[in-house]
Structures are given as structure tokens and as C-alpha cells.
Structure 1
Amino acid sequence: MEEIVFSVPAVSCGHCVKAITESVGEVPGAGSVSVDFTAKTVVVTGGADPAAVREAIAEAGYETV
């Protein structure tokens, strides 16, 4: 299973985690979504298209770097 890691500097609280998890969870092929606001990362396992995951993160209101 593929793992994709994104750096999301603006992640800072439980609301951020929930918003990103829900948005990315809707991406086809996203198996699991783990958001760590301490490390400011989003880890997605499965076969999701990285561009689609970035777009879902952006739709949740956060920028990836």
C-alpha cells in the first residue's frame, strides 16, 4: 500500500484535523488519513492520486508545501 506524506504548516488544532480528514477521506483510493498537528503533516495510505489529495486539502482550507 502506498503512503503519501504532505507538509501542511497551518494545521494547529483538532478542527484542522477533522476538516482535513473528512475532505481527504472522500478522495477515491484514500485508504487511511492521519493528520498530525504537532508534526504538521498529513499521511494518506492507499492508492489515491497525490494531486487529488492536495486539492482536497486545499478545499478544506489548508495549503500544502
Structure 2
Amino acid sequence: MRPARRRSRKQRQPSGAYCARRIQGETAMSVRTTINISGMHCGHCVASVTEELQELEGVAAVDVALNKDGLSVATITSAQELDPARIDAAIAEAGYAVVAGG
């Protein structure tokens, strides 16, 4: 009789807004926040929004998908959840507006 095979237990990656990764034995959590922005039309708009969002404390990365005929989408990766009022203020400082929904 053959010995029973052990199934490997792969760890599942978390789904949703949180993405975990191991760093030197500790768990670091990253939070992804997605926002819709109106009024963006060019690469300069993307640069302005990216610059303002990167200045927020705890922001690790910003990715902006430009849609010059509608709502552009910004994805912010941060160490912790960001205050929506601070995000709105950063977008307003760049000269644009956050739009609820999509």
C-alpha cells in the first residue's frame, strides 16, 4: 500500500482592498484606494494629480488611468487607509474633482 500524499497548503492571497506581503518576518499591509476624477485631459493633468497624491503621508504609489472623454481613475497604494477628505483636498489642489461612483 502506498503512503497517502500530502497536499501542499498554498497560502491564498487576500482579496479586496488589502494586499499582504511578508517583509523580514513581519506582515506589512498595503491598502489600495481607487477614485474617479473628472476634468483630466492630458499627461500634464496626470502628472499634477500624481504629484499631489504622492505628497500624502503613507502613500507608496499612485497610478492614474487617463480617460480624456470621461472619468479618469487613480489607484493609490498606501501603508494605511487614507482620509477621504485629504484625498479630495489633494485632487482639488491639482485643479480637479473627485466623483463618487462611476
Same fold at TM > 0.5: yes
Counting only pairs closer than 5 Å after superposition, residues 35-46 of structure 1 correspond to structure 2 as: 35-38=64-67, 40-46=72-78
Q: Contact 1:4–1:50 (CA<8 Å) still a contact in 2?
A: no
Higher Rg of the two aligned structures: 2
- How many residue pairs get aligned? The number is 65
Which AA in structure 2 matches 1:40? Answer: S
Q: Distance in 1 between matches of 2:38 and 2:93?
A: 15
Q: Which of 4, 16, 23 is the equivalent residue of 2:52?
A: 23
- Deviating runs (4+, > 4 A) in structure 1? none
Which structure: greater helix fraction? 1
Q: Distance in 2 between matches of 1:31 and 1:50?
A: 17
2:69 is aligned with 1:52? no
Please state whether the residue corresponding to 1:8 is helix, strand or coil.
strand
TM-score if structure 2 supplies the norm length? Answer: 0.59
TM-score if structure 1 supplies the norm length? Answer: 0.88
Higher relative contact order by CA 8 Å / sep ≥ 6: 1 or 2? Answer: 1
| Aligned residues with identical type, % of pairs | 35
In structure 1, runs of 5+ residues without a counterpart are none
Q: Distance in 2 between matches of 1:50 and 1:31?
A: 17
1:11-56 C-alpha deviation (Å, 9 max, x unpaired):
2210100000111110001110111112611110112333212210
Please state whether the residue corresponding to 2:38 is helix, strand or coil.
coil
Deviation at 1:10, TM superposition (A): 1.2
